[in-house]
Amino acid sequence: MTYLVRLIKILNRSYDLEKEIKDIRSFLMNLQSKEIEDSVKLSLGKWYSWDTPTGLSIALLSFGVFLVLLTVVGYIGRSITLLH
C-alpha cells in the first residue's frame, strides 16, 4: 500500500512539474514577443510618432504623396476610358 501511495505522490509531482514547465514556457514566449513588440515600437516611435514635429511632418508628407499618387492614377484611368 505504501508503494502505491508513493507512486501516486510521484505522479502528482511529475504532473505539477509538467504544468509548471508549460507555464514557464508560455511566460517566456509572451515575454519574448513583448520584447520584440516593444523594440519595434521604440524604433518606429522615434520617427513616426505624431507627438514630435518630425513624425508629424513625415505623416503629412506621406499623406500628400498618397493623394498625389491617387490623383495621378485617377487621371490615367480617366484618359484610358476616354480613349475607348
Q: Please report, for the chain, the start and end positions of each structural domain, with discontinuous segments joined by +.
A: 1-48, 49-84
What pLDDT digit, counting tens, does each position of 23-78 carry?
777 777 776 777 666 666 665 555 556 667 777 788 889 899 999 999 999 999 88
Cell of 35: 520584447
Residue 31 CA to residue 23 CA, distance in Å, equals 12
Arithmetic mean of pLDDT, 13-26: 73
Label residue 83 by pLDDT band (50, 70, 90).
Answer: confident
- Read off the pTM: 0.41
Neighbours of 58 (CB within 10 A): 15
Predicted pLDDT of residue 73: 93
